[in-house]
């Protein structure tokens, strides 16, 4: 595979789509060798087909704010790859959302979903709507206006969105309400992350964070280590960081930092259950400030403006917020402070420079598409329960989630172990996901 040529062709075709090109480049680097061992892939032009989304929808979303002013945002749904099942992936509401960001996320989602062992294709969507500072009524009106367009695109067997950054249970509820009104279809399978009284799955809210910690447990176990008593630094304070903090405590680890766009909260004695509960209020307030934690718990959390979680001394770092939130300089600082394991819980949380620094230092590093796959996997379990018109118990869902994370870890080890014994989890995840999607595309012919 000529990675350079493929990349320069893509750059010419999609100039300026930075995040998308970054995500594609990483996968091409990982799969290049195995691709060349399978001439049937090149013959069918699998890679040239796989890097392009099946289709991209763009639409206008117009709504009225609390002052009575008319607002217009852009809405998107990227149906990236449907080879192994209906499109599946979250909706992101964030002011920086654009086609490049959603294409990168849809591309990553395709491989992630393949890793879950469940039959789900890759998709992603969202809007440049900025939830920061918005009232609950504004959130509702925006979600309803967004669904006025989205409902024609999605469906339980075609495309099943869920939450992502800026979209949680509340937003899914408002969108679902509008969907049933428009489609007059009360089948609960069209969105996941639903409420517990209308088709949601137990453990789905916690699943991304819980799954990440299960993955970390397997990774540590394989390296002969244990999470008990270890210090963890987390970025963000949203749904993902919340679930990760809950499970960390349960497993005997100590969360010593969380962060936000405004700075970092350091907690030398570790986060407490009350503080973890408060993270939910912080998210719901739409203030987007981690400083609120230090204001609420003055003796326990110390806020420093303008600093990242990576400035706090830790054993294990968990990026839980946004793409490229940990860069080469951050990686150097983490390594200098003795950090020996990094697991991306956000999608593409580390820059290529940061990943290289971790891998050169031979510390444990695992990528988002493996670590955070528990979220979408549990969405898949929600779809299964919806299709069967039943609800599983917490124990049943958690057991399935555990098994899935175990099998993802195994797949990474199988495809990522190098001659010297070092496990390159990035290669492992990319190759395992790629092989499954490539095989499906090959068997379905040239379409």
Interface with ligand 2IT by CB under 6 A: which residues?
Answer: 88-90, 109, 112, 162, 164, 192, 347, 372, 375-376, 379
β-pairing, 70-81 vs 55-64, is: antiparallel
Q: Which is nearer to ligand 2IT, 100 or 372 (CB)?
A: 372
- Taking the least distance from each CB to ligand 2IT, the nearer of 159 and 330 is 159
- Rounded to a whole number of angstroms, the minimum distance from the CB of residue 380 to ligand 2IT is 8
What angle, 0 to 180 degrees and rounded to 10, lies between the N-to-C axes of helices 239-250 and 204-222?
50
Task: For ligand 2IT, give the closer residue by CB, 102 or 255.
Answer: 102
Q: Which residue has its beta carbon closest to ligand 2IT?
A: 90
Question: Least distance to ligand 2IT from the beta carbon of 266, Å?
Answer: 28
State the nearest-atom distance from the C-beta of 57 to ligand 2IT, in Å.
17
CB of 218 or CB of 369, closer to ligand 2IT: 369
Residue owning tokens 């039943």: 390
Q: Is 421 left (phi over 0), alpha (psi -120 to 50) or beta?
A: left
Q: How far is the CB of 348 from ligand 2IT (least distance, A)?
A: 10
Place of tokens 């806020």: 303
Alpha carbon distance 377, 108 (integer Å): 14
What tokens appear for 72 in the block?
Answer: 């217009």
Nearer to ligand 2IT, 320 or 376 (CB): 376
Q: What is the DSSP string of 299-344?
A: TT-EEEET--GGGS--SEEE--S-TT-B-HHHHHHHHHTT--EEE-
Write down the least CB distance from residue 109 to ligand 2IT, Å: 6
Residue 154 or 258 with smaller CB distance to ligand 2IT: 154
What number of residues does the chain have? 447
Site of tokens 């939910």: 280
CB of residue 379 to ligand 2IT, shortest distance in Å: 3
- Catalytic option among 124, 202, 230, 436: 124
Catalytic site residue 124? yes
Cβ atoms of 277 and 320 within 8 Å: the answer is no
Instruction: Report in angstroms the alpha-carbon separations of 156 from 150, 188, 192.
Output: 13, 8, 10
| Assigned token pair, 126 | 């969202």
Write down the least CB distance from residue 374 to ligand 2IT, Å: 9
Q: List the beta bridge partners of residue 341.
A: 316, 364
CA proximity to 369, closest of 334, 416, 417, 422: 416
Question: Which residue's CB is nearer to ligand 2IT, number 86 or number 253?
Answer: 86
| Distance (Å) of CA 58 to CA 39, 168, 201, 284 | 36, 22, 30, 28
Cα–Cα–Cα angle for 51, 53, 57, rounded to 5 degrees: 155
- Hey, which residues are catalytic here? 124
């Amino acid at each position: 595979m000529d990675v350079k040529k493929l990349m320069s062709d893509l750059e010419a075709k999609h100039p300026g789509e930075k995040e998308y090109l970054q995500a594609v480049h990483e996968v091409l680097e990982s799969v290049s060798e195995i691709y060349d061992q399978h001439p049937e892939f090149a013959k069918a032009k699998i890679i040239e087909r796989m890097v392009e989304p099946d289709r991209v929808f763009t639409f206008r979303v117009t709504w009225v704010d609390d002052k009575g002013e008319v607002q217009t945002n852009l809405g998107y749904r990227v149906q990236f790859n449907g080879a192994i099942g209906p499109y599946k992936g979250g909706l992101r509401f964030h002011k920086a959302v654009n086609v490049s960001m959603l294409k990168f996320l849809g591309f990553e989602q395709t491989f992630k979903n393949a890793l879950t062992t469940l039959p789900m294709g890759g998709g992603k969507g969202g809007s440049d709507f900025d939830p920061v500072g918005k009232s609950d009524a504004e959130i509702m009106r925006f979600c309803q206006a967004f669904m006025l367009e989205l409902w024609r695109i999605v469906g339980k067997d075609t495309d099943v969105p869920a939450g992502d950054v800026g979209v949680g249970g509340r937003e899914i509820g408002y969108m679902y309400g509008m969907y049933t009104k428009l489609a007059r279809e009360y089948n609960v399978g069209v969105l996941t992350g639903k409420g517990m009284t209308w088709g949601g799955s137990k453990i789905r809210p916690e699943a991304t964070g819980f799954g990440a910690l299960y993955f970390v447990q397997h990774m540590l176990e394989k390296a002969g280590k244990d999470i008990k008593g270890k210090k963890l630094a987390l970025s963000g304070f949203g749904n993902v960081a919340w679930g990760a903090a809950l499970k960390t405590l349960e497993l005997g680890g100590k969360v010593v930092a969380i962060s936000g766009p405004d700075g970092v909260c350091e907690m030398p004695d570790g986060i407490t259950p009350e503080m973890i509960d408060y993270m939910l209020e912080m998210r719901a307030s739409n203030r987007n400030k981690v400083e609120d934690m230090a204001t609420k718990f003055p003796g326990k959390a110390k806020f420093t403006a303008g600093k990242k979680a990576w400035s706090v001394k830790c054993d294990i770092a968990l990026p839980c917020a946004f793409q490229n939130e940990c860069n080469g300089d951050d990686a150097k600082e983490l390594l200098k402070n003795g950090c020996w394991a990094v697991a991306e819980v956000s999608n593409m949380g580390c820059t290529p420079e940061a990943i290289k620094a971790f891998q050169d230092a031979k510390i444990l590093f695992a990528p988002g598409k493996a670590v955070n796959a528990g979220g979408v996997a549990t969405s898949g379990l929600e779809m299964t329960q919806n299709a069967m018109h039943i609800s599983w118990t917490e124990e049943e869902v958690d057991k399935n989630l555990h098994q899935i994370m175990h099998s993802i870890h195994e797949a990474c080890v199988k495809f990522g172990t190098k001659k010297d014994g070092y496990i390159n989890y990035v290669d492992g995840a990319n190759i395992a996901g790629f092989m499954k999607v490539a095989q499906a595309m090959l068997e379905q012919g040239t379409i």
